[in-house]
Amino acid sequence: MNRFSLAVSGGIARVTEAALGPYQTAVIRIGFSATWLLFLLRELPHRHELYGPDSPWSWDLAQQLIASNGSFTTLMWSDGRVWFEIVYVLAVLSSALLMLGWRTRTMSVLFMVGVLSLQNRSVFMGDGGDNVLHLMSVYLVFTRCAQVWSLDARRAVRERAARARGERVTDRTGPALWGVLGAVLAAVTLVGRMQGDWLIPALLWTVWVAQALWWLVGRRAGTGEPRILLDVIGNVVHNGALLVIMAEACLIYATAGWYKVQGSRWQDGTAVYYPLHLEYFSPWPALADLLSASGTMVMLVTYGTVLVQVAFPFTLFNRRVKNVLLAVMMTEHAVIAVVLGLPFFSLAMIAADAVFLPTGFLRRLGGRAARVRDRLARRGGRVSLPGQRARENPEAEHVGSGA
């Protein structure tokens, strides 16, 4: 009984004392924001046809659908071309800033708003990757995903160094962002634009109030008990969201694998052959013909895909097997991106897979990237700033500095 109690108390301490998976959450932050950013930039010439006033799915049809399903989208606040351009530009900017990790808490909320606004405006645009991005944009709001590899983490290092020197550190950008966005949120709510399902409006108001609470506690209480309590709550929410992201990725692969098992083409080992010869999924016909020329290869890839997807959730209990299957799945998605012409679907799935990457591998990868950056900086005649190479503290991502 004592051993069980110690195990439970140890588990509770692990969940409450720290935000787990700092490198994994940083990778999925960068991965999903980069995926959405690249998609928006690629479709920039076609944005009006996809989500704007020239879309085949007209504003009236979208309004009727949203009235029935209660989806959230800011593009239903006005059917004007200027408003659409504003929303699209803000979606691009929030994606870029989230990728860089600047004011991450606020940017994660704006990123979610941009994803939901555009995708819910034209629900028939996109592929399977947009569904993953849709879900993950909501989950990212609950994570402390800028603990490492972010501008927020770098700013936190500099602030700690300044306080150690006895300097006074004042953050004006965070409160200014909080005030402006709060005024916009209040105005939108008062004029009755927050219609439909209550979940997203409630989430926006909750995050806004939490920002204010964290800033006040940090300013008044410093490192006292109220701040410790908020840290514990933040860690629990982050770790819960991280668990949901991992479970979501497992669910995606498990359901995809078991549905494939029921298909006759997957059972006879020929399913992979057919998409390779569909014009829509054949940007490189010669390459598709080469890959499908061998019946044995087609059968192996078909059965291997089902096996990997069904088996992956069960391999999480064995680190070595999990890492091997993870490498296989990422390679498979990279091949899909090239052969079937689905780069953003593949990027979204690779970003989701990244939550299972080993911490040691990610730290080595980050170290190599830092050395390359420093080498390029020296070639450019730049000098590294003090504390630039310091390891970012998990405390860097807090609501006060992420405002």
The confidence score (pLDDT) of residue 384 equals 47
Is the CB of residue 152 less than 8 Å from the CB of residue 401?
Answer: yes
* Closest CA relative to residue 113, chosen from 48, 185, 62, 65: 185
**Is the model's pLDDT at 146 over the cut of 90?**
yes
**Is the model's pLDDT at 82 over the cut of 50?**
yes
Digit-coded pLDDT (tens) for 168-204: 888 889 899 999 999 999 999 998 888 778 889 999 9
The confidence score (pLDDT) of residue 399 equals 39
The confidence score (pLDDT) of residue 387 equals 45
**Could you give the angle at which helices 173-190 and 199-220 cross, rounded to 10 degrees?**
150
* Closest CA relative to residue 32, chosen from 84, 94, 106: 94
Query: Per-residue confidence at 72, pLDDT binned at 50, 70, 90?
Result: very high
What is d(CA 36, CA 29) in angstroms, rounded to the nearest whole number? Answer: 11
What is d(CA 16, CA 142) in angstroms, rounded to the nearest whole number? Answer: 15
Non-local CB neighbours of 190 within 8 Å, separated by 6+ positions: none
Q: What is the dihedral of CA 392, 393, 395, 399, to 10 degrees?
A: 0
Q: Which has more pLDDT, 38 or 399?
A: 38
Q: Which two tokens stand for residue 357?
A: 């990457």
The confidence score (pLDDT) of residue 381 equals 61
What is d(CA 152, CA 392) in angstroms, rounded to the nearest whole number? Answer: 9
Half-sphere exposure of 90 (CA within 13 A, CB side): 22
The confidence score (pLDDT) of residue 88 equals 97
What is d(CA 282, CA 279) in angstroms, rounded to the nearest whole number? Answer: 5
**Is the model's pLDDT at 389 over the cut of 50?**
no
The confidence score (pLDDT) of residue 233 equals 92
The confidence score (pLDDT) of residue 180 equals 94
Percentage of residues of the chain with pLDDT beyond 70: 93
Q: Which has more pLDDT, 232 or 8?
A: 232
The confidence score (pLDDT) of residue 1 equals 55
Digit-coded pLDDT (tens) for 7-63: 777 778 788 888 999 999 999 999 999 999 999 999 999 999 999 989 999 888 998
Non-local CB neighbours of 324 within 8 Å, separated by 6+ positions: none
Non-local CB neighbours of 88 within 8 Å, separated by 6+ positions: 40, 47, 51, 52, 118
The confidence score (pLDDT) of residue 390 equals 46
The confidence score (pLDDT) of residue 222 equals 58
What is d(CA 25, CA 27) in angstroms, rounded to the nearest whole number? Answer: 5
Tell me the torsion sign for CA atoms 80, 83, 85, 91: negative
What is d(CA 70, CA 196) in angstroms, rounded to the nearest whole number? Answer: 4
**Is the model's pLDDT at 397 over the cut of 70?**
no
**Could you give the angle at which helices 128-140 and 343-353 cross, rounded to 10 degrees?**
40
Alpha helices in 221-318 (DSSP H): 225-261, 264-267, 285-292, 295-311
What is d(CA 281, CA 284) in angstroms, rounded to the nearest whole number? Answer: 9
Backbone angles phi, psi at 358, to 5 degrees: -65, 145
Is the CB of residue 88 less than 8 Å from the CB of residue 75?
Answer: no
Is the CB of residue 275 less than 8 Å from the CB of residue 340?
Answer: yes
Chain centroid to Cα 81, Å, comes to 28
Among the listed ranges 79-83, 88-92, 289-293, 384-388, which one has the minimum average pLDDT value? 384-388
What is the average per-residue pLDDT within 305-317? 91
The confidence score (pLDDT) of residue 214 equals 87
**Is the model's pLDDT at 401 over the cut of 50?**
no
The confidence score (pLDDT) of residue 145 equals 94
Query: Per-residue confidence at 124, pLDDT binned at 50, 70, 90?
Result: confident
What is the average per-residue pLDDT within 280-299? 87
The confidence score (pLDDT) of residue 398 equals 43
The model scores a pTM over 0.85: yes
Q: What is the 3-state secondary structure (H, E, C) of 120-157?
A: HHCCCCCCHHHHHHHHHHHHHCCCCCCCCCCHHHHHHH
Give the number of other Cβ atoms within 10 Å of residue 226's Cβ: 16
Query: Of all residues in the chain, what percent are helix, strand and coil, respectively (each to 5)?
Result: 75, 0, 25
The confidence score (pLDDT) of residue 223 equals 62
The confidence score (pLDDT) of residue 281 equals 83
